[in-house]
Amino acid sequence: MNTIEISESPSRQRRKEARPAELMAAALELFVERGFAATKLDDVAARAGVSKGTLYLYFASKEELFKAVIQKGILPVLDQGEEMLSQFQGDAGSLLEAMLLRWWEMVGSTHLAGITKLMISEAGNFPEVALFYYENVIVRGRGLIRSVLERGIASKQFREMDVETAIDVILAPQMMFTIWRYSLGPCDCGKQDPEAYLKTHMKLLLNGLLTGEKKK
Amino acid sequence: MNTIEISESPSRQRRKEARPAELMAAALELFVERGFAATKLDDVAARAGVSKGTLYLYFASKEELFKAVIQKGILPVLDQGEEMLSQFQGDAGSLLEAMLLRWWEMVGSTHLAGITKLMISEAGNFPEVALFYYENVIVRGRGLIRSVLERGIASKQFREMDVETAIDVILAPQMMFTIWRYSLGPCDCGKQDPEAYLKTHMKLLLNGLLTGEKKK
DNA sequence: TACATTACTGACTAGTCAGTCAGTAAAAAT
DNA sequence: ATTTTTACTGACTGACTAGTCAGTAATGTA
């Protein structure tokens, strides 16, 4: 007489597998918004729609949750970038533009963008995670751009240059634009369309990078 | 009871006036290192060589201390920049280079550099301070670069360009370089001389900015 | 029916830290 | 010599929160 069981409980089942991902998404938002120390696990759990106890079923501590957010969030992006590099048919300038646009689609325009700001803010408190991030995101990311620049220099499309510095000059505006959204962005609401901005940025960069005649 | 005190007690007197500055310096270091929430006022006081009670003689709360660190630290720099702009005799390219170098001397190479990272990290938790920073540092700072670019365009030294985007492209590598020192910098010790880096960066930028013949 | 398992809960504890305040000590004023 | 003022101290408190764990409730299994 107790229960007539409903044979399929698909939502329940799906939820169970989704829990850690939901918790990590909630944690990312709050960590980015408030910083690690100022984020309460009660709030993380509440935003994911569970209690704090549940959080501890999936993550051993606040710090483990932090690590998981960083690692699981960003690594797939690098994998995709490296695949793109090996597959792409076309000139180096187009490849550079395609990569930056792809990065915008996958990271810049999503919540993952917050990881950049989060890592910068918290690197001092988590040197071990910072090292992981440095080796698996920064080094690999710079490697991607380096390959593109070297391909362009070899094909004479790009002029000779100090490649390492050029990587910084290319990546810095991208990163600042990303960080901006999660810091002082709310102060200047009047910013234009991000994709238009990226194109203008690319044009300015390329006019400094391209060999001779102006592009476009 | 009317007393006009003309008394000199030099070492004691100097210390008294220096206290708030010492506390702000200690606070800046720790805020930058650990973030606002993770910084303990006992540690700030200890680093300044006083007790926590003394800190509360000069600052009404942790938040007021934070505001003072940001405001008192960075405003003089903007004043100097604006004076430099109005005084400088020379072409726009040299002015731009001189300003970025001056900025490096006064901010980039000092502890003040940490304010950039601090503000980015904590903007979400202090919207009021963020707005102050935006209006008094970001807007004024961008205004400086805008003036230089417009001067250069008017004199035909610089090509026509989207000025607002160009400002970003110029400032972003500077800011990232600054932020880097206080976040992931410790992970890659093998960085070269900062001034050499800034020169290379300038050269890459100018080759994208200058009208025709290459400079230098 | 009885027992086991899975997923989750939320009150509780132990430790931390911003902010307070009664008190000290030494110089300055009277 | 006595009182006032200045500069500072550090033990204390109240609020807050990471992490725990005994318990609930639903479903699965024997």
Cα–Cα distance measured from residue A52 to residue A58, given in angstroms and rounded to the nearest whole number: 11
- Residue B16: per-residue pLDDT: 57
C-alpha dist (Å) from residue A123 to A69, A120, A133, B181, B187: 14, 6, 9, 11, 10
Asked whether strand C has any atom less than 7 Å from the CB of B9, the reply is yes
Cα–Cα distance measured from residue B58 to residue B48, given in angstroms and rounded to the nearest whole number: 13
Rounded percentage of chain B residues whose pLDDT exceeds 70: 87
| Tokens found for residue A170 | 């290319």
- The Å distance, CA of B59 to C1' of C28, is 26
Asked whether strand D has any atom less than 7 Å from the CB of A46, the reply is no
Nearest to A165 by CA among B104, B107, B195, B183: B195
- A182 has pLDDT over 80: yes
Nearest to A69 by CA among A117, A108, A7: A117
Contact B207/A at CB under 8 A:
yes
Cα–Cα distance measured from residue A138 to residue A135, given in angstroms and rounded to the nearest whole number: 6
Cα–Cα distance measured from residue A62 to residue A41, given in angstroms and rounded to the nearest whole number: 7
List pLDDT tens digits, range A93-138: 999 999 999 999 999 889 999 999 999 999 999 999 999 999 999 9
Half-sphere exposure of B20 (CA within 13 A, CB side): 13
**Which amino acid residue lies closest to nucleotide C11, measuring CA to C1'?**
A53
In degrees rounded to 5, what are phi and psi of residue B36?
-65, -55
- List chain D nucleotides near protein: any atom < 7 Å from a Cβ: 6-11, 16-22, 26-28
Residue A126 buriedness (CB in 10 A; 0-12 / 13-18 / 19+): middle
Residues of A from 54 to 113 whose C-beta is within 7 A of strand C: which are they? Answer: 54, 56-57
- Residue A16: per-residue pLDDT: 55
- Residue B216: per-residue pLDDT: 33
List pLDDT tens digits, range A10-58: 333 344 578 899 999 999 999 999 999 999 999 999 999 999 999 999 9
- B3 has pLDDT over 90: no
- Residue B10: per-residue pLDDT: 39
Give the model's confidence band at B12: pLDDT under 50 very low, under 70 low, under 90 confident, else very high.
very low
Asked whether strand D has any atom less than 7 Å from the CB of A190, the reply is no
Residue B41 buriedness (CB in 10 A; 0-12 / 13-18 / 19+): middle
Count of all residues that appear for chain B in the document: 216
- B11 has pLDDT over 80: no
Q: Dump strand ranges (E) for chain B.
A: none
Query: Rounded to an integer, what is the distance from CA A131 to the centroid of its chain?
Result: 17
Helix axes B62-87, B113-122, angle to 10 degrees: 130
In degrees rounded to 5, what are phi and psi of residue B162?
-75, 100
Please, are residues B106 and B112 in contact by the beta-carbon 8 Å criterion? Answer: yes
Of residues B213 and B50, more confidently modeled: B50
Half-sphere exposure of A165 (CA within 13 A, CB side): 19
Nearest to A194 by CA among B125, B168, B139: B168
- B211 has pLDDT over 80: no
* Count of CB pairs separated by less than 8 Å, A with B: 151
- What average pLDDT does this structure show over A190-196? 77
Asked whether strand D has any atom less than 7 Å from the CB of A56, the reply is yes
Cβ–Cβ gap A123/B36 under 8 Å:
no
Closest by Cβ to B184, choosing from A35, A134, A176: A134
- A210 has pLDDT over 60: yes
The alpha carbon of residue B184 is apart from the nearest alpha carbon of chain A, in Å, by 6
- B50 has pLDDT over 80: yes
- The Å distance, CA of A39 to C1' of D25, is 30
Give the model's confidence band at B4: pLDDT under 50 very low, under 70 low, under 90 confident, else very high.
very low
Which residues, listed in sequence order, are joined to residue A210 by a DSSP beta bridge?
A158
Cβ–Cβ gap A138/B162 under 8 Å:
no
- The Å distance, CA of B9 to C1' of D17, is 48
List pLDDT tens digits, range A63-79: 999 999 999 999 999 99
Contact A205/B at CB under 8 A:
yes
Count of all residues that appear for chain A in the document: 216
Nearest to B185 by CA among A173, A144, A127, A35: A127
- Residue A5: per-residue pLDDT: 31
Asked whether strand C has any atom less than 7 Å from the CB of B178, the reply is no
